Structure 1
């Protein structure tokens, strides 16, 4: 599966359009990571626990989008975008969407 944030796949021609596909996941913060993040806020630096949580969330949401595209018969998803939103205190949704297409 080709995944790109471009509107087309360079060097390939879109031959079929399947429409919007998406994937999402809602994740809550872990109390242990919160404690470490609080300490890191005092001294500064990257909050690696949160970085890992977001990376895992992106991968899971992307896998769900790809699965939906495969079910439609697509071999590529173009114009892919990611979005995050707060769902509840301590929980956030990571949402990914794009256009499922078939390329030559």
Structure 2
């Protein structure tokens, strides 16, 4: 198990994902320090996007997905937590201009 207090988040993300900025990954609901997922099981998971990594503080800015079906525009991406489960719902991301992301990876999830 990873000791989160001693971990270098940027290093972990670089080891796991093809792109640190804009990586789509699964985060436990318990990480959110705002109202997001407050009514969900803390040990359950939700797709998220890494929006920014701060070198100096060893922190990353994480944007949660949404269950709202955004279906307009070209910057909408969808992610399935468990692609092997046909009943697993999709989460949608509306990538905003202020967010940086690795387009070649994210376009795999783009809604046509």
TM over 0.5: no
Normalising by structure 2, we get a TM-score of: 0.24
Q: Which has the higher contact order (CA 8 A, sep 6+)?
A: 1
Considering fraction of residues, name the structure with more helix.
1
Richer in strand (by share): 1
Structure showing greater Rg: 1
